[in-house]
Amino acid sequence: LLPLTTATEVGAEVALQATVEGMLLASYRYDELKGSPEERSSLQQVTLVVPDGVDSAAALSRAEAVASAIALTRDLVNRPGGSLSAVQLADEAVKVAEQTGLEVEVWDRERLIVERCGGMLGVNAGSTEEPRMVRLTWRPKGESRGTIHFVGKGITFDTGGLNLKPFEGMKEMKIDMGGAAAVIGAMAAVAAHNPDVTIIGTCCCTDNQPSPTATKPGDVLNIRNGKTVEVLNTDAEGRLVLADGLSIAAEENPDLIVDLATLTGACLVALGSQYAGLMGNNEDAIARVEAAATKAGERLWHLPLPNEYRKQLDSDVADLQNIGSGRFGGTLVAGLFLQEFVDETPWVHLDIAGPVTTQEQEAEFPKGATGFGVRTLLEIVNNW
Backbone angles phi, psi at 365, to 5 degrees: -110, 100
Q: Of the residues 116, 165, 310, 367, which is catalytic?
A: 165
Backbone angles phi, psi at 313, to 5 degrees: -95, 0
- Host H or E run for residue 350: strand 347-351
Asked if residue 281 lies in contact with residue 347, where contact means CB atoms within 8 angstroms, the answer is yes
Q: Of the residues 62, 239, 288, 375, which is catalytic?
A: 239
Q: Is 239 a catalytic residue?
A: yes
Q: Are strands 300-302 and 320-321 parallel, antiparallel or unpaired?
A: unpaired
Alpha helix ranges (H) inside the chain: 4-10, 12-26, 56-78, 86-100, 109-114, 118-124, 167-170, 178-193, 238-251, 265-271, 283-296, 330-339, 374-382
Q: Is 295 a catalytic residue?
A: no
Which own/partner pairs from 38-47 qualify as long-range (CB within 8 Å, at least 24 positions apart)? none
The contacts of residue 276 (CB under 8 Å, 6+ apart) are 267, 298, 299, 300, 301, 350, 351, 352, 353, 354, 355, 372, 373
Which positions are annotated as active-site residues? Answer: 165, 239
